[in-house]
Amino acid sequence: EAGVTQFPSHSVIEKGQTVTLRCDPISGHDNLYWYRRVMGKEIKFLLHFVKESKQDESGMPNNRFLAERTGGTYSTLKVQPAELEDSGVYFCASSQGLLGGSYEQYFGPGTRLTVT
Amino acid sequence: AQSVTQLGSHVSVSEGALVLLRCNYSSSVPPYLFWYVQYPNQGLQLLLKYTTGATLVKGINGFEAEFKKSETSFHLTKPSAHMSDAAEYFCAVTLYSGAGSYQLTFGKGTKLSVIP
């Protein structure tokens, strides 16, 4: 069974440009999460999809970030326009269910975004 | 608000020595607790989790952790370190963020080095 995959693995863009990150969850996982780790800080929650619906987007930093999940399958996270403080590693995770938060979240390898 | 504290951003142990990585949490309700490990250039992998039941939890690769409610701790241990244990370790708790959504709240991570 394939794990969570993310593309690209690395992205270097200039301030003001647009970048789109993609996540393919484990097949059959309705729950998809995005997290971000800024250098030296904790991994922080961005948002949670259940199928194609945004269940919780309370962690999204501002309206320069737009997440979508087409047909409840893969998800994209677009940053437009990118700022220097957006640099970090973006992780995607998926889980089969919720059950009060006890289900394991399976993480992808992350996308390292560098904004110069 | 829930938080997770990992004592020591870097821990070094000799090969064969005891590994002890500390994690304390704050939570107003009984939490679900997780330890994840990240090997270089890989995603986060679940080592073990505590949901309910036995407070001593065994995980993969010989790791275990004990949930101590009175101390609000969930320290990770391994009796004998192996070179392959060198990685970054993250303690996390589940946070209910409302509207049927659960997110992981992470500590800052502890990098473990194993000295031959």
Return the sign of the alpha-carbon dihedral for residues A50, A54, A55, A56: positive
Q: Are B36 and A101 inside 8 Å of each other by CB? A: no
First to last CA, chain A: 37
- B39 in contact with A, Cβ within 8 Å: no
DSSP assignment of B6-66: EE-SEEEEETTSPEEEEEEEE-SSPPPEEEEEE-TTS-EEEEEEE-SS-SEEE-GGG-EEE
Q: Which residue of B has its CA nearest to A108?
A: B43
Q: Compute the mean pLDDT over every residue in chain A, rounded to the nearest whole number.
A: 93
- A39 in contact with B, Cβ within 8 Å: no
pLDDT of residue A98: 66
Chain segment A29-77, per-residue pLDDT in tens? 999 999 999 988 999 999 999 999 998 999 999 999 999 998 889 999 9
- B99 in contact with A, Cβ within 8 Å: yes
Asked if pLDDT for residue B38 goes beyond 80, the answer is yes
Q: Are A56 and B44 inside 8 Å of each other by CB? A: no
Using alpha carbons, list the distances in angstroms from residue A78 to A15, A108, B81: 14, 17, 41
Asked if pLDDT for residue A1 goes beyond 80, the answer is no
Q: Nearest-5° angle of CA B21, CA A97, CA A42?
A: 35
Task: Considering only CA atoms, give the Rg of chain A.
Answer: 13
Structure tokens at B92: 């996390």
Q: Which of A44, A48, A107 sits opposite B44 (nearest CB)?
A: A107
High-pLDDT (> 70) share of chain A, %: 96
Chain segment B91-114, per-residue pLDDT in tens? 999 877 777 778 899 999 999 999
pLDDT of residue A101: 66
Residues of B in contact with A56 (CB under 8 A): 97-99, 101, 103
- B42 in contact with A, Cβ within 8 Å: yes
Asked if pLDDT for residue A15 goes beyond 90, the answer is yes
Strands (E), A15-104: 19-24, 31-37, 43-50, 53-56, 65-69, 75-79, 88-95
Instruction: Choose from B38, B95, B102 for mutation: most chain A CBs within 10 A.
Output: B102
Chain segment B47-105, per-residue pLDDT in tens? 999 988 889 999 999 999 999 989 999 999 999 999 999 999 999 998 777 777 788 99
Strand partners, B88: B38, B111
Cα separation, A77 vs A23, whole angstroms: 8
| The pairing of beta strand A43-50 with beta strand A53-56 | antiparallel
Instruction: Choose from B2, B41, B44 for mutation: most chain A CBs within 10 A.
Output: B44
Q: Are A25 and A90 in contact (CB under 8 A)?
A: no
Residues of B in contact with A93 (CB under 8 A): 44
